[in-house]
Amino acid sequence: MKEEVIKKLEILAGAAKYDVSCSSSGSNRSNTNKGIGNAAYCGICHSFTEDGRCVSLLKVMMTNYCMYDCAYCANRKSNDIERTALSVDELTELTISFYRRNYIEGLFLSSGVVKSPDHTMSLMTRVAKNLRTLHNYNGYIHLKSIPGASPELIRQAGLYADRLSVNIEIPTEANLKLLAPEKDYTSIYTPMNSIHQGILENKEDTKKIRSIPKFVPAGQSTQLIIGATPDTDNHILSLASNLYQHQQLKRVYYSGYIPINTNDSRLPAIITPPLVRENRLYQSDWLIRFYSFKVDEIVNEKHPNLDLDIDPKLSYALRNPWMFPIDINKAPYELILRVPGIGVNSARLIIASRQFGKINSYQLQKMGVVMKRARYFITCNELSSPTVNEIKPENLKLLLMKQLPKAKKVKYPGQLKLFDVA
């Protein structure tokens, strides 16, 4: 590989590190036409760095030149950084050569905005198209759509990419305008709507003609930056829940604001990213998607922000002690799911096992229930723990917090260098 291209790659892989929205695949495509590689539901994008990022994709920007000046971004035009650009051919070659060597299972491509959103989007689309049509590449492709790109270009991109994402970045439009004056919600939601519409139409068309090419088979995602603005967790989770319901997004990624442009007075004076808050938001997102929680059960006007000391499910249980204890041998699945320490798998096992007799605490433990938490919220055959109501929620919170492993002092490690990964 040419040294010049490697040098560009080092700069542009480093420039792409702040985008977290690339952690899952969801595509399934077998090798066809004597091509190379497969995209699979699993086995792709499933390696993560310690701080949760996926390492099996080539995650790179086409260019870190940008005509915009978003306050939170390292690549904004007013920053004095080393700039470069990879051509369509260079990127295509690079991806193919990495893929052939088994370094990567896919490509995550983003870009600064050059000349215009459409110009940039068309370059990115050409990379995906070349990979698929010239090289028979069957690996995973995630393109980060450029806000403001035309629906037609988004449609074309969706024919070659497995996943498209349009990053909202800032959870309210007023704050977005403050931090990214060149962007607005129309430029973000228009491509998002086009992708959603394209996916729906493609589903309908596939029912009639099975061989029709898939459009964005792994769906779309977005990213929200957390902590760069005073937006509450209530606002953030309501927005995410809306996106899941109305745009059928596959994932909303929460990215703790990384203090880069520390001399910009529009940004908060923090020195480390809010990683605990980011983690609590992911836990809440999980509760909404897999545990049937409504946003206002987790956060609401009265409790607009998540408790950083304990996870959101425990926080919910302590705020609603009247619901407990729940009888494991009688309660419906939905209620069992609400018990801290009981996950989806153990709740299913509990329901399935009940038909064979009464369940005791030993069996619960065997099913994966975290008894040191759950015991205060349940009754079962023989358990004689005091309940949350007897201990009182505020005391139980302190008791459970004492049992938590001491938080390690995490020094923000930054993104792994591309070649450290291999």
**Interface contacts to ligand SF4, rule CB under 6 A:** 66, 68, 70, 73, 75-76, 112-113, 180
Our CB check for ligand SF4 shows the closer of 58 and 70 to be: 70
3-state secondary structure 331-393: CCHHHHCCCCCCCHHHHHHHHHHHCCCCCCHHHHHHCCCCHHHHCCCEECCCCCCCCHHHHCH
Partners of residue 58 on adjacent β-strands: 107
Q: Residue 52's CB: how many other CB atoms inside 10 A? A: 13
Buried b (16+ CB within 10 A) or exposed e, 144-177: bbbbbbbeebbbbbbbbbbbbbbbbbbbbeebbe
**Least separation, in Å, of the C-beta of 247 and ligand SF4?**
21
Angle, to 10 degrees, between the axis of helix 151-160 and the axis of helix 185-208? Answer: 50
Our CB check for ligand SF4 shows the closer of 77 and 289 to be: 77
Quick one: which of 401, 361, 362, 355 has its CA closest to 377?
361
Three-class SS of residue 201? helix
Our CB check for ligand SF4 shows the closer of 112 and 158 to be: 112
Measured CA to CA, the distance from residue 370 to residue 377 in angstroms comes to: 11
**Least separation, in Å, of the C-beta of 263 and ligand SF4?**
16
**Least separation, in Å, of the C-beta of 73 and ligand SF4?**
3
Residue written as token pair 């969801």:
26
Burial class (CB in 10 A: 0-12, 13-18, 19+), 302: exposed
Quick one: tokens of 52?
């949760």
Our CB check for ligand SF4 shows the closer of 67 and 270 to be: 67
Our CB check for ligand SF4 shows the closer of 45 and 179 to be: 179
**Least separation, in Å, of the C-beta of 70 and ligand SF4?**
3
**Least separation, in Å, of the C-beta of 181 and ligand SF4?**
10
Sheet with strand 251-256: strands edge to edge: 57-61, 106-110, 140-144, 163-165, 220-226, 251-256
Query: Is the peptide bond prior to 325 cis by the omega test (within 30 degrees of 0)?
Result: yes
Our CB check for ligand SF4 shows the closer of 180 and 396 to be: 180
**Least separation, in Å, of the C-beta of 22 and ligand SF4?**
15
Our CB check for ligand SF4 shows the closer of 113 and 295 to be: 113
Burial class (CB in 10 A: 0-12, 13-18, 19+), 54: buried
Our CB check for ligand SF4 shows the closer of 66 and 359 to be: 66
Check if the beta carbon of residue 86 is closer than 8 Å to that of residue 94: yes
Measured CA to CA, the distance from residue 219 to residue 248 in angstroms comes to: 8
**Least separation, in Å, of the C-beta of 79 and ligand SF4?**
9
Burial class (CB in 10 A: 0-12, 13-18, 19+), 133: exposed
**Least separation, in Å, of the C-beta of 18 and ligand SF4?**
8
Pairing label, strands 163-165, 220-226: parallel
Quick one: tokens of 214?
């898939």
Our CB check for ligand SF4 shows the closer of 112 and 259 to be: 112
Our CB check for ligand SF4 shows the closer of 73 and 107 to be: 73
Partners of residue 57 on adjacent β-strands: 106
**Least separation, in Å, of the C-beta of 62 and ligand SF4?**
11
**Least separation, in Å, of the C-beta of 45 and ligand SF4?**
22
**Least separation, in Å, of the C-beta of 109 and ligand SF4?**
13
Our CB check for ligand SF4 shows the closer of 144 and 397 to be: 144
